[in-house]
Structure 1
Amino acid sequence: MNVAHEIDLLVQEIQRLGSKNDLGQTTVKFGVLFSDDRCANIFEALVGTLRAAKRKKIISFEGELLLQGVHDQVDVVLLQE
C-alpha cells in the first residue's frame, strides 16, 4: 500500500472511532486506535502511519512516537476532515 492511501484509511478510522472535541475536531485516544480489531487488520504499522500523517499535518498528537500502554491516553486529533 502507498502512504497516501494508508493515511486516507487512518482518517476514516479516526472518524469512525473518535468524537468531536470543543473545537469541532475529531479526536480519539491512541489506545482505542491501537486496540481496535479493524485497525489491526488494516494497518501493518499503525505507528508509522500516524507519524506520516503527523508530518503531513493531517493529524496531531503530543510527542514524536506513540507506544502501546505508555501512550494509550494520548489524544490523536484530526486536523483535516
Structure 2
Amino acid sequence: MNVAHEVELLVTHIKRLGKQGADGKYAVTFGEMFDDDDCANVFEALVGTLRAAKKKKIIKYDGELLLQGVHDKVEITLLTDN
C-alpha cells in the first residue's frame, strides 16, 4: 500500500464530498465518507488512511480513532492539499 497515494486520493474525495467553508477549507463528516460507495471501493482501510493524513497534518478531526456509527458526525477538515 502506497500511503502517499492513498492520502492524495483522500484529499480528492474530501473535496468531492465536502463543503467549502468561509475559510476556504473543505470539511466532510466521517459518516459521509464511510457511507460513500466510491470511498468504500477506493480505500481498503479508510480509518488508517485518515490517521496517516492526520499525522502528516493534511487533515484534522477530533479524537484518535474514528468508528463507524459512533463517530459519524465527526467533522474532518482538509488543512492542505499538498
Same fold (TM over 0.5): yes
Which ranges of structure 1 fall in alignment gaps of 5 or more residues?
Answer: none
Residue of structure 2 equivalent to 1:74 = 74
Residue of structure 2 equivalent to 1:9 = 9
Equivalenced residues, count: 81
| Rounded Cα–Cα distance in structure 2 between residues aligned with 1:30 and 1:23 | 20
Q: What does 1:46-57 align with in structure 2 at a 5 Å threshold?
A: 46-57=46-57
Residue of structure 2 equivalent to 1:41 = 41
TM-score (norm 2): 0.96
What residue identity is the alignment partner of 2:49?
A: T
Q: Please provide the CA RMSD for this pair.
A: 0.7
Q: Which deviates the most, 1-10 or 20-29?
A: 20-29
| Rounded Cα–Cα distance in structure 2 between residues aligned with 1:32 and 1:68 | 10
TM-score (norm 1): 0.97
Which ranges of structure 2 fall in alignment gaps of 5 or more residues?
Answer: none
| Rounded Cα–Cα distance in structure 1 between residues aligned with 2:48 and 2:11 | 14
| Rounded Cα–Cα distance in structure 2 between residues aligned with 1:3 and 1:24 | 26
